[in-house]
Chains A and B, each alone.
Chain A
Amino acid sequence: MNQGIDLQGSFVQALIDLGIPAGSAKALWLPLPMVLMLIAATVSIFVVVWLERKISAAAQQRIGPEYAGPLGTLQAVADGMKLVFKEDIIPAKSDPLLFTLGPVIVVIPVLLSFLIVPFGQNLVITDIGVGIFLWIALSSIAPIGLLMAGYSSNNKYSLLGGLRAAAQSISYEIPMALAVLAVVMMSNSLSTIDIVQQQSGHGVIGWNIIRQPVGFLIFWIAALAECERLPFDLPEAEEELVAGYQTEYTGMKFGLFYVGSYVNLVLSALLVAILYLGGWDFPIPIEMLANWLGVSETTPWLQIIMASLGVMMTLFKAYLLVFIAILMRWTVPRVRIDQLLDFGWKFLLPVSLVNLLLTAGLKLALPFAFGG
C-alpha cells in the first residue's frame, strides 16, 4: 500500500538536517497539526453557520444574510463579536462554578475529538489504535456538561432541557456505538486510518455505505440526535423550553454552546464521511487509474494531487452531509420526548443489534467482501 505524503517525516528530517536534535525536532512538529486542526475547526463554524443561514433562507424563499461581508459570509464573525462583547451574567442563586464549567465541558470533548479525524493517509493528528472508540468515549462527556449547565442555572426550563439533553445523548449513544461496532468488525481495527484504508482502492463500491446501508442510516440518525439537530432538537425546543439548558446563558458562555453545537455537527458529518463514505477516497479509484496510465504511485506531483484531492473529498462529503442535515431541519417536524426515546430504544437499538449480528454472520460467510 502506498503511504502517501509523510509531512511529519519530512519536517522532522529537515530539522534534523539543520542540526536540531531529533527529540526537539519532533516537539517542534507537534503543535503544528494541532493548531492547524483548531483553526480548521474554527473556520468550519463560520462556513457551517453561513451555509445554515443561506440554505435555510433558500428553502424559505428568503435571501438570508447579505450585508456582513460578501454574500453575508462574515455574519458569523459579526455575531461572534457581539457575543464576545456582551456582559457575562451569572444568574442569582445559581452555582457559579458549575455554570461556568458546563459550556466548557461541552466544547472541549468536541474539539478534542478532532484528534482522530483523518483528512488523508498521514493528515491526522494522531493515529491511535482506539481511534473511533476514543471519540465515542469523548462524546459521552458532553451530556455531563449539558446536565451541569441545566442544573446549575436555577431555572426550570434549563433543568428540563439539561435532563432531556442527557437522556437523549445517553440513549442515542448506544445504537451509534453498535453501528460503529459493525464497521469496526469489518475493518478489524478501531483506528480511523485503517477504517478508511479498508474502504479505499475500489472507488464507490468499496465504501462502507454499500455494505452497511442500515448502519449508515442508524449512525446518521444517532449523530443528528447527538448534535441536537432537528428533528431531535427538543432539549432546546424554543416553543416548549425557551432555549433549554441555554436559557440563562449570555455572552461567550452562550457562544461556547453555539460553537460546540456547530463544531459537533461538522465533526459528526466528518465521521460519517470517514466511517461510511470512504473518507478521503475518491469515488473513482485513482491509484488504479494511475497504474493503468503508467504513472507510478510515488510520483511527487501525483502524491500532491492525491493528498489535496483527499482533503477536498473528505470536506466535500462532510459538507454534503451538513447540507442534508440543514435540509432535514426544514423538512421534518420535531419529535416528542417519548417518541424520541421510543425511537431510540425500541427501534434503533434492536435494528442496530440485528445489523451487527448480520454483519458478523456475513463476515463469516463472505470473508472476501466483509473483511474476514
Chain B
Amino acid sequence: MLKFLKQVGDYAKETAQAAKYIGQGLSVTFDHMRRRPITVQYPYEKLIPSERFRGRIHFEFDKCIACEVCVRVCPINLPVVDWAFDKGTKKKTLKHYSIDFGVCIFCGNCVEYCPTNCLSMTEEYELAAYDRHELNYDNVALGRLPYKVTEDPMVTPLRELGYLPKGVMDPHELPAGSRRAGKLPQEILEELETAEK
C-alpha cells in the first residue's frame, strides 16, 4: 500500500514538474513577443555583406598563368583551366577558364592559393537561375563585377549587427556617418605600427 502511494506521489511530482517546464517554456515564448522584429524586407532592403564575405568568385583573365593551383587546392578540382603550350614563348597560354557555381562550395581555397591573385571573392550572392547550366560561369562571366548594394537606387542598404554602433540593434534609420562599435582593423594596425616605432 505504501509503495503504491509512493508511486502515486512520484507520478504527481513528475506531472507537476512537466507542467512547470511547459509554463517556463510559455514564458520564454511570451517574452519573445515584446522583442522587436529583425526582419530585412529583402528585395527592397539588403544587408551589406561583410568585408570577408565569400560570394561569387571574380577572375581576371590576363593575370592568370594557367598554373592550375586553383584546381589542385579545390576540394573537388572544380575550376576548368583550358590552356595550350606556346612553343615560341615557351609559356602556357590560357584559352578558357570556368567555374561551375552550382557545384562550388565557396570555400575560398582557390582565392587563397592563387599565386598571381587573379581570383578574388565578390559580394554577389544572388545566383538563382532557371537552369543549372547557367551557373557554369566562363571567363567572361567570371570577369564581371557585381552591383554594389550601397549603390543600388532600388535597395536600402542595411548594416549587419556587427557593424552597428554600440548598443544599437536596429539598422533602420541610422544617422549618416555613425561608426561601428570598437576599432576598425586598419586603426588597430596603425596603432601597432606606431607602438613598434
Instruction: Given A331-B22, A332-B22, verify A59-B37 contact (CB < 8 Å).
Output: no
**Docked pose: A330 CA to B26 CA in angstroms:** 8
Q: Is the CB of B25 closer than 8 A to any CB of chain A?
A: yes
Give the segment of B27-35, B94-102, B111-119, B182-190 that binds chain A. B27-35
Q: A330-B29, A331-B28 are in contact. Are A61 and B37 (CB under 8 A)?
A: yes
Sorting the interface of chain B by its residue count into under 10, 10 to 19, 20 to 34 or 35 or more gives 10 to 19
CB distance from B11 to the nearest CB of A (A): 9
Provide the bound-state CA to CA distance between A347 and B26, in Å.
22
Assembled-state Cα–Cα distance A332/B22 (Å):
7
Contact of A63 among B26, B29, B35, B39 (CB under 8 A): B39
A249 to chain B, nearest CB (A): 30
B26 interface neighbour in A55, A57, A62, A328, Cβ under 8 Å:
A328
**Is B36 engaged at the interface, CB distance under 8 Å to the other chain?**
yes
Q: Is B33 touching A331 in the complex (CB atoms < 8 A)?
A: no
- Beta-carbon contacts under 8 Å, B8-52 to A: 15, 22, 25-26, 28-30, 32-33, 35-39
Q: Closest Cβ of chain A: how far from B194's Cβ, in Å?
A: 43
Q: Does A185 contact B (CB under 8 A)?
A: no
CB atoms of B29 and A59 under 8 A apart:
yes
Find out whether the CB atom of A62 lies under 8 angstroms from the CB atom of B32.
no
At the interface, yes or no: A58 with Cβ under 8 Å from chain B?
yes
The one of B22, B25, B28, B33 in contact with A55, judged by C-beta atoms closer than 8 angstroms, is B33
A60 located at the interface, meaning its Cβ lies under 8 Å from any Cβ of chain B in the complex: yes
Contacts of B37 in A (CB 8 A): 57-58, 61-63
In the complex the two chains form, is B25's CB within 8 Å of A62's CB?
A: no
Consensus secondary structure, chain B interface: helix
Partner of A327, one of B30, B35, B36: B30
Distance in angstroms between the alpha carbons of A347 and B36 in the assembled complex: 40
CA distance A331 to B39 in the complex (A): 21
Contact A60–B39 (Cβ < 8 Å)? no
Least distance between B10 CB and chain A CB atoms (Å): 14
* B39 engages A58 (CB within 8 Å): no
Question: How distant is A329 from chain B, measured CB to nearest CB, in Å?
Answer: 9
Given A331-B22, A332-B22: A61 and B29 interface contact (C-beta under 8 Å)? no
Least Cβ distance of A121 to chain B in Å?
Answer: 34
B38 touches A61 (CB 8 A): yes
In the complex the two chains form, what is the Cα distance from A217 to B8 in whole Å? 19
Q: Contacts of A63 on B, CB cut-off 8 Å?
A: 37, 39
Q: Report A-chain residues with C-beta under 8 Å of the C-beta of B30.
A: 327
A-side interface size class: 10 to 19
Q: Are A331 and B25 in contact (CB under 8 A)?
A: yes
**What residues of A have a CB within 8 angstroms of the CB of B28 in the complex?**
331
Which residues of chain A from 324 to 349 have a CB within 8 Å of any chain B CB? 324, 327-328, 330-332, 347
Chain B neighbourhood of A331, CB < 8 A: 22, 25-26, 28-29
Task: Name A49-75 residues within 8 Å CB distance of B.
Answer: 55, 57-63
Which of chain A's residues has its CB closest to B38's CB?
Answer: A61
CA distance in complex: A331, B24 (Å): 9
Q: Is the pair B32, A59 in contact by a Cβ cutoff of 8 Å?
A: yes
Asked if B29 and A327 make an inter-chain contact with CB atoms under 8 angstroms apart, the answer reads: yes
Instruction: Please name all residues of chain B whose beta carbon is closer than 8 Å to the beta carbon of A62 when the two chains form the complex.
Output: 37, 39
Shortest C-beta distance, B12 to chain A (Å), equals: 10
CB pair A58–B25 under 8 Å, yes or no, is no
Residue of A nearest to B27 (CB): A331
The residue that A61 contacts in the complex, of B15, B22, B25, B36, with Cβ under 8 A, is: B36
**Which residues of B sit under 8 angstroms from A324, Cβ to Cβ?**
26
Quick one: closest A residue to B22, CB to CB?
A332
Assess whether B26 is in contact with A58, with CB atoms less than 8 Å apart.
no
Q: Please, how many angstroms separate the alpha-carbon atoms of A331 and B25 in the complex? A: 6
Interface residues of A in 310-335 (CB under 8 A from B): 324, 327-328, 330-332
Complex Cα gap A61–B38 (Å): 6
Chain B residues near A327 (CB, 8 Å)? 26, 29-30
A215 CB to closest chain B CB, in angstroms?
Answer: 15
How far, in angstroms, from A58 to B39 measured CA to CA in the complex? 11
* A58-B22 contact in complex given A63-B39, A331-B28, C-beta closer than 8 Å: no
* B117 → A minimal CB distance (Å): 41
| Cross-chain contact A61 with B26 (CB below 8 angstroms) | no
* CB <8 Å contact, B39 and A59: no
Q: Which residues of B contact A347 (CB under 8 A)?
A: 15
For A58, give the chain B residue with the smallest CB separation. B33
Flag A176-194 by CB within 8 Å of B: 1 or 0 each: 0000000000000000000
Q: Which of B22, B26, B32, B36 contacts A60 (CB 8 A)?
A: B32
Question: A332 to chain B: which residues have CB within 8 Å?
Answer: 22, 25
The 4 closest A-B pairs by CB, nearest first: A331-B25, A58-B33, A331-B29, A63-B39
22 A-B pairs whose Cβ atoms sit less than 8 Å apart in the complex: A55-B33, A58-B33, A59-B29, A59-B32, A59-B33, A60-B32, A61-B32, A61-B36, A61-B38, A61-B39, A62-B37, A62-B39, A63-B39, A327-B29, A327-B30, A328-B26, A331-B22, A331-B28, A331-B29, A332-B22, A332-B25, A347-B15
Known contacts A58-B33, A331-B26, then 18 further A-B pairs from the complex at CB < 8 Å, ordered by chain A residue: A55-B33, A58-B32, A59-B32, A59-B33, A61-B35, A61-B36, A61-B37, A61-B38, A61-B39, A62-B37, A63-B37, A63-B39, A327-B26, A331-B22, A331-B25, A331-B28, A331-B29, A332-B25
